[in-house]
Chains A and B, each alone.
Chain A
Amino acid sequence: MATTTYLANPVVTVNSVDLTDQCTSATFTHRFDQLEATAFGDTDRKFVKGLGNHEVTLSLYMSYASSETYATLSALVGTTTTVIVKPATGSEGATNPGFTLTGAFLAELPVINATMGELSTVDVTFVGGVYSVDTTP
């Protein structure tokens, strides 16, 4: 049975800053635009690969302390950076690939998300950039 359960192993790095201990969810999507290539004579739709359109969405605890979430992300809004997510700690390899988005754009940052009696969290999405997978130990 092929399942993957994430407890505390994934490693999340944004702009070289290790935010693993602030992150509760990471979704890294490797995607391409789909361009329709269906023509007369076809009986089924056909698609070809367009531009890469990758994104990473992270759920993070918001902290305004030094070297924490806000300090990491506030200066990145409206700029591009590098985001790396890998399934487990330790060096990269075939079984622990370092999924990397270089030149990913951060369009917005919810600077406060406050609910009484709850820890503050924010969701941020980095879009665009060049996708690569590092499997070199």
Chain B
Amino acid sequence: MKGATVYKIISPRIGVPGDEFIPPAGVSVQALLDGGFIIEVGAQNPTPKPRKNAKVQPTEE
């Protein structure tokens, strides 16, 4: 199960840069992401990364 998304403040217009941003009610998080005010730093329970050697080898015909 995926956890809640965590956001980090980038712009001092939002708060202290580097602090976690907890969106207040009614705030458009997408607009803040688009405007570069915050970034998504992942979920609290992130999905595991794919293995490095997971490349699909071409098959001979």
Contact = CB atoms under 8 A, between A and B. Distances in A.
Are A and B a genuine interacting pair, yes or no?
yes
Interface of A: 15-19, 66-67, 71-72, 74-76, 79-82, 102-103, 129
A82 B27 contact: yes
Contacts of A80: 26, 28
Contacts of A76: 28, 31
Interface of B: 10-14, 21, 23-28, 30-32, 34-37
Contacts of B37: 16-17, 67, 71-72
Nearest to B22: A16
B57 to A, nearest CB: 42
A102 B26 CA distance: 6
Interface secondary structure of A, over-half rule: mixed
B16 to A, nearest CB: 12
Given A16-B21, A71-B37, 5 more contacts: A18-B13, A74-B35, A75-B31, A79-B28, A80-B28
A19 B37 CA distance: 13
A71 B35 contact: yes
11 contacts: A15-B32, A16-B14, A16-B23, A17-B14, A67-B37, A71-B36, A71-B37, A72-B13, A74-B34, A80-B26, A129-B26
